Amino acid sequence: MSKFFQRLGLLVATVLTGLSASAQTKAPDPPAEIQTLLQKNICLTCHKVNDRLVGPAYVEVANKKNYTPEQIVALIYKPKPENWPGYPPMAALPNVPKDEALKIANWIVSLREAKAPGKAKAPVKKKAPTR
């Protein structure tokens, strides 16, 4: 019975080490210019970089549907709640200057490689060669 508990302990330690390592893959805080724009345009009221708040984390937005910066800007001005089931609808933000919205959107897209906590990156499907 003692060996059983030793193995169980080793298994638990291995799993916890893996969880700890995955928690370290969070995206870094935004650069100062982006942080200022996020605060100015009240984005941080509902969004955080790595964690769900009221709305999805920016990392989650970056990894969903491979939005282009222009698509993200369009969603800032005219959100589509159907794209984000399980979240309250985002209010349209038509007062965000387009150049600022585009800087924010480009930063969001730059987070694409970071993983949202608890979310595994989907494997890339390779197409079969055509003849």
pLDDT tens, 55-71?
Answer: 999 999 999 888 999 99
Q: How far apart are CA 59 and CA 49, in angstroms?
A: 6
What confidence score (pLDDT) does residue 127 get? Answer: 59
Q: Where are the chain's structural domains? A: 27-85+98-117
What confidence score (pLDDT) does residue 110 get? Answer: 96
The parts of the chain modelled with pLDDT lower than 70 are 1-24, 114-131
User: Does residue 77 contact residue 101 with C-beta atoms inside 8 Å?
Assistant: yes
What confidence score (pLDDT) does residue 1 get? Answer: 55
What confidence score (pLDDT) does residue 113 get? Answer: 72
User: Does residue 92 contact residue 82 with C-beta atoms inside 8 Å?
Assistant: no
Task: State whether residue 3 is helix, strand or coil.
Answer: helix
What confidence score (pLDDT) does residue 131 get? Answer: 58
CATH numeric code, 27-85+98-117: 1.10.760
What confidence score (pLDDT) does residue 21 get? Answer: 42
What confidence score (pLDDT) does residue 54 get? Answer: 96
Counting Cβ atoms within 10 Å, is residue 108 exposed (0-12), middle (13-18) or buried (19+)? buried
What confidence score (pLDDT) does residue 30 get? Answer: 96
What confidence score (pLDDT) does residue 115 get? Answer: 55
41: which residues sit within 8 A by CB, 6+ positions away?
93, 95, 96, 100, 101, 104
pTM for this entry: 0.69
Residue type, 28: P
What confidence score (pLDDT) does residue 25 get? Answer: 76
